[in-house]
Chain A
């Protein structure tokens, strides 16, 4: 919403500058984004009268003008006292008053100085509207701005006289204050904020003897979409350009001037915030208007000459022949528009259903000044004033003859809303809600500024809410009025007074934070990806059509396919991060994301999906290398080390953890030989491994990433279970007696996993075998095909005494026997 300072001053006393006004309005909740000064670049523009025009001696297209610049101007005048200016304009005539940019003046994008044009001295420039930053009317011919008839005399300062630098306030209204889309309502707000007097327009005009009931008829068929439709008729209009003050007001609001009739309807719309529509009465068949829902597929050509197809959602205004003449509240029809021939105008002021207008405007892609106001709601009580104000101006400015009376089709249930609301206001409650100690007089002074009527009843004031303030219906709404008009700076700062509360995280929140801290401590950088992904990721991950990760929550109206399904795994996001980084030559990465994945609940579609706290880590390239240290590739074992460290941090005992070969069907995107499934307490938690080379290629990754992804909710649940079973950590006394360490290197079949061998050794070694630590893995044909050697340090220790050699030997022999059972032998 744009409005000029001068326009506001027509209705309210303003005793401060535009900038101060903007500041005061903003701090009262009517945000002024910006104050524009349309003529800020202009200087030294003076009105002059053209006394004489001569042909230029050396140029056919130029003329030499002599101007009377009025009293008090003496520079560069010739002996007759005239200022000589050469112009190429063709619309200048002797006797006209025109704006003159003097020597050393500024107009739009130009500095003007005296000069010679084809040898003839010119001491300034005659200006067009554009050069003074004044928008010309639609279809106005180019040329110098002729000021005849504008009460401008030679010698006048044009900038002041023609309001060329009248400040324009650009408002950013909150939805509850859309009533300020009306200049009059905004003036009311200004009056409240500045505590000054209002001067609202007085409406009066002369009606003719003819009566509107005899000349027109209105039928509203769909009152639910049109609670009130009010029609008036004005005859014998003379179309002409609008007076300058009207053009200026419209220009400041960003509306172009067309002709007096159209301009008046725009002007009154801006004044009252209530749209109206003007029909050429003589084009209305049967001189009747019907308001009804459009038929499915019904067509109408709107003012912009576009053919529009409508649905039953849209409200249509028709004439007596049931021909569409206006898309209600959105845009008029071409068939009844005001033209140069128009003499008689039928004026519609109406209220339409806001939702219906919004949908229609959106469906047709037409967001007009009118539709925007209807969408935000129009004060139904103001319709008659709007209509009469229009009649008044059409009489004053177009010489029209308003016909007596009006046709007012007003739904009875809507009429009930004409009764202003009474809202009670308790001063004690004001102070309780605001935390202030305003006096009753303070509080009532705010209501007085608003000029709302009230009466006192006991401890309470009954305040009558004017109909234009639809945003006020509760006591708190009035409390807000008090706060903003007395000023939020008068509200003290306190802290809530009440019982002490514990600020603490839940155990789960603590766990999730610990996990994140641990992963950061292990050197990973956190990324944040969108919660939605492209369904194409599933193909890139080689998922079969029935794979469970494809069971997705779909977004009905995504911005694009890339963001159309909620993720069921964090992996694609991380892979894309790796690809993006890799393409930017960031070749060594350890990234993680901790976030939600979304799993639909199969049994009931309408239920909310399960949101699972998930952690995924990706290693790419190698660990940092330096001058005395080679980097290590992020492979299966690098990530496994990280995961083991993380689980240890989480206090998951090693005995509860199992890594088992992953199921290829479940994890088709992983390297089949280098992927493990992680179980805690025999519950599936996630996977760990290297990416399948095909998937690596799909994501255009130069190197093969290692990744892990685990369900943190399961980890947390199992951790809680383990805590319940085992209690918290219990101190183990440090051993007092020395340990015996023996090495063992076992050669056995490659298919026997290390963990299987270790389980055997642990079992066979007995309770005093306290440590099994792998130190070498060796493969060679000399060991036999498909065989390898695994070498361990074994630690034996008794808590109560030093172990004898015999005891150790006995345990070791047991272990050897167990190894042999597995088909293994001691390495020679």
Chain B
């Protein structure tokens, strides 16, 4: 009996080792553990033993059964792992082949620059004001302190619809409308938008974009303008930027300034972009002219304000290193996809 068990155990272990498929394992399971399997056979022959031998033999058969089950399970796992390995190996791909393409969209670089403006100024508590592109001459010029005979109002510089209406030449009329709407409350808005001037060459487009800003309140000063612009410029062009104010002239601000930023390409040491000056002119600004405040109903003794304005195309060209304004409006998809 004991001999028999040892024999079975040895044969079983060998056969399990040799089995290479789950099929064979199933057969082995039947062969040893099945109703007519070896272990059943042995169990049946237990009756022939002496009663005192039975417990020991019974224990041995149980051990044999357990060992067999364990070995089977282990072997099954080994085989499964092996098959999985084989499958994984078979499924290997050239991971350097390109992925399935997903069509990517893009915003126009001018939109992206305007989005940047909006984010920065929204963060500083500004609202976004809008107004019509076909505007009244009154808002476009008169309200900006440009009287009727002013040279800037000559037909040749603006696209007119008729004597009273034109395509706005700047987004300033939006500011006049905002002041009209909000007076006597404070104003804090930016007005990004499309504007038109009668010019077409490598540096001028008959349609272009501006962003202007306006703050009107009690106690607003030129220092506030300077601080606001420094904050803006550093967010837009980098923390290390400095600004420089130079006196200038606009009919709707007094004092008026041109604002330069330290060149972002050379850091101020001088290069081609800044024409070796270290500074790049990016915007015009100033304190809102008392006449402009008065026309909206603000008392210029009590209220002061600042305004600034810049060309989106110019900023986009500086930011992305674009050297010809016309590519912005050609809409070549190879250009658009770069942004």
Contact = CB atoms under 8 A, between A and B. Distances in A.
Nearest to B126: A503
A433 B256 CA distance: 12
Residue among A503, A522, A557 with most chain B CB within 10 A: A503
A633 to B, nearest CB: 14
A347 interface: no
Nearest to B115: A513
Nearest to A520: B105
Contacts of A394: none
Contacts of A528: 108, 110-111, 328-329, 331
Nearest to A517: B107
A195 B328 CA distance: 47
B122 A505 contact: yes
Nearest to A474: B290
Nearest to A353: B149
Contact of A433 (B97, B200, B228, B287): B287
Q: How large is the interface on B (under 10, 10 to 19, 20 to 34, 35 or more residues)?
A: 35 or more
B128 A608 contact: no
A821 to B, nearest CB: 43
A626 B105 contact: no
A483 B222 contact: yes
B228 A496 contact: yes
Interface stretch (A24-32, A53-61, A655-663): A24-32
A175 B304 CA distance: 24
Interface string B52-85: 0000000000000000000000000000000000
A554 interface: yes
B255 A586 contact: no
Interface string A426-439: 00000011111000
A520 B149 CA distance: 46
Given A495-B228, A526-B106, A488 B287 contact: no
A590 B330 contact: no
B106 A525 contact: yes
A502 B127 CA distance: 7
A27 B259 CA distance: 11
B246 interface: yes
A177 interface: yes
B107 A577 contact: no
Interface in A535-577: 553-559, 563, 566, 577
A479 B160 contact: no
A225 interface: no
Contact of A29 (B160, B188, B248): B248
A22 to B, nearest CB: 12
B331 A580 contact: yes
A664 B323 CA distance: 45
A606 B125 contact: no
Contacts of B108: 526-528
Counting contact residues on chain A (CB < 8 A from B), the size range is: 35 or more
Contacts of B194: 531, 595-596
Given A563-B206, A626-B101, A525 B161 contact: no
B198 A496 contact: no
A584 B336 CA distance: 14
B104 to A, nearest CB: 6
B167 A555 contact: yes
Given A498-B186, A555-B160, A559-B198, A627 B333 contact: no
Interface stretch (B14-22, B40-48, B133-141): B133-141
Contacts of B123: 503
Among A483, A494, A521, A611, the most chain B Cβ lie within 10 Å of the Cβ of A494
A480 B256 contact: yes
A801 B156 CA distance: 77
A204 interface: no
A591 B111 CA distance: 15
Interface in B24-49: none
A609 B134 contact: yes
Nearest to A493: B227
A504 interface: yes
Of A493, A525, A626, most buried by chain B (CB within 10 Å of CB) is A525
Nearest to A359: B154
Contacts of A1: none
A608 B332 CA distance: 33
A480 B255 contact: yes
A516 B247 contact: no
Interface string B240-284: 000011111100001111000000000000000000000000000
A499 interface: yes
Interface string A155-194: 0000000000000000000111100000000000000000
B298 interface: no
A589 interface: yes
B223 interface: yes
A586 B227 contact: no
Interface string B206-236: 1100000001011111111011101100000
B213 to A, nearest CB: 11
A484 interface: yes
A501 to B, nearest CB: 4
Given A504-B127, A531-B133, A581 B162 contact: no
B159 A558 contact: yes
B132 A628 contact: no
Contacts of A525: 105-106, 333, 336-337
A476 interface: yes
B9 interface: no
Contact of A555 (B100, B161, B186): B161
Contacts of A581: 331-333
A584 B247 contact: no
A253 to B, nearest CB: 23
A793 B26 CA distance: 42
Interface in B148-185: 149, 151, 154-156, 159-162, 164-165, 167
B103 interface: yes
Contacts of A496: 188, 215, 217, 220, 224, 228
Nearest to A607: B165
Contacts of A623: 103
Contacts of B200: 559
A474 B294 CA distance: 14
Contacts of B103: 523, 590, 623-624
B51 interface: no
A268 to B, nearest CB: 26
B220 A479 contact: no
5 contacts: A375-B151, A433-B221, A523-B103, A590-B103, A611-B133
Interface of A: 26-29, 31, 174-177, 354-355, 358, 362, 375, 432-436, 474, 476-477, 479-480, 483-484, 488-489, 491-506, 509, 516, 519-532, 553-559, 563, 566, 577, 580-581, 584, 586, 589-592, 595-596, 598, 605-606, 608-609, 611, 623-629
Name the 6 nearest CB pairs between A and B, nearest first. A435-B223, A29-B247, A435-B221, A523-B103, A480-B255, A174-B249
Interface of B: 97-98, 100-108, 110-111, 118, 121-128, 130, 132-136, 149, 151, 154-156, 159-162, 164-165, 167, 186, 188, 194, 196, 198, 200, 206-207, 215, 217-224, 226-228, 230-231, 244-249, 254-257, 287, 289-290, 304, 328-334, 336-337
Given A557-B155, A608-B132, A626-B100, 20 more contacts: A29-B246, A175-B249, A474-B290, A476-B289, A480-B256, A494-B224, A494-B226, A496-B217, A496-B228, A500-B125, A516-B111, A523-B103, A526-B105, A531-B196, A555-B160, A556-B160, A557-B160, A559-B200, A624-B101, A627-B98
